[in-house]
Structure 1
Amino acid sequence: MIEKLLALSFSLFALVGGSNSEKTNDIYLIPEGYEGYVIAFYNVKGAPKIEKEGDYEVHDVNNQGYSVTSTPDMDYGTITDKYYYVDEEGKRNEINKECVKVLSTGSLEIEPDTPNKIEMSYTGMEVTKSQCSQDFMTAGEEIDRDKLDSIVQDITKQYYKSK
């Protein structure tokens, strides 16, 4: 059904190390116990600007596994991100890097040839508690298309009123 509602065009880019001066510097605050895909969407009309802690941009991930910001685009370069589980009181517990698999980044357009055109970019990762290992961390994958479509549909309903 989402294919009928949305005309998506994806272009995927591998997020690889850049020069020493370019770093991603993101902090992901993930609800305690969450496992699965975590996706940060950029350039979402009406979403809050990214908050900063020192040199890091902070993504407050919701229970559905995504965050949104009106900040136009993500940073590219060497991945220097930090990942935390956050409990109900806001206490952070760092997630072991072997429990996080960085996935592809991409962009999408909805209704590309209309005045209602929506453009977003995204980056993602997968978080596990049970499969933590070097193999999990380094296994390259793309974000699951069905999960991505479902989240994009939620975002467009909330921020773009029924696209």
Structure 2
Amino acid sequence: MKKTLLLLIPLILILASCSSNKSNLNTYLIPKNYVGWVQIIYDQEEFNAIEQDHGRNIFTIPESGVLKTSTPDVEYGISFEEFYYYDEQNKQQKLDVDQMIHGHTIGDGESVTSSGKIEGPTVQSFFVGTEAELKNTPDPGYPVELMK
């Protein structure tokens, strides 16, 4: 009995801590046949906020691969992400994340003021395409024009 309790207590604690974390349900809609880097640039006042649909964040990526949004920052926590190609009729085709999505990163501007404050907005990046296509496409890095 004591052994069972010793095993159950840590398991319950782990499950309880997982359930208190914020979960993000993210759907990325990418133009059909797009291959290249996608960048989502947060905290851009003149652009729309990220769409919400039944608790999901909907990121509709334009043909350029760069989505600017007024949403202040990415929400951190456990993410459940889905990636789809979409066409002109909004027909969607789910992408195999292991085969077609690579290098998913989230970062802030690298410039630091004398007070130590980061000056650039958060940028989320990922590559859409095969590993072979990724090898032939350089990472665009943080957009320097965003630095204030």
Query: What's 2:39 paired with?
Result: 39
Query: What's 2:94 paired with?
Result: 94
1:22 shift after superposition? 1.9
TM-score (norm 2): 0.68
Percent of matched pairs sharing the same residue: 24
Q: Does 1:51 align with 2:58?
A: no
Q: 1:65 & 1:71 partners in 2: Cα distance?
A: 17
| Equivalent residues, number | 122
Structure with greater helix percent: 2
Contact (CA 8 Å) 1:46, 1:70: kept in 2 or not? yes
Contact (CA 8 Å) 1:105, 1:121: kept in 2 or not? yes
1:124 shift after superposition? 1.7
Letter in 2 for 1:126: F
Q: 2:18 & 2:68 partners in 1: Cα distance?
A: 27
Unaligned stretches of 5+ in structure 2? 1-16
Query: What's 1:84 paired with?
Result: 84
Greater relative contact order, per chain length (Cα 8 Å cut-off, separation 6+): 1
Query: What's 2:122 paired with?
Result: 121
- Tell me the C-alpha RMSD between the 2 structures: 3.0
Give 4+ residue runs of structure 1 displaced > 6 Å after superposition: none
Letter in 1 for 2:108: S
1:107 shift after superposition? 0.9
Unaligned stretches of 5+ in structure 1? 1-17, 137-142, 157-162
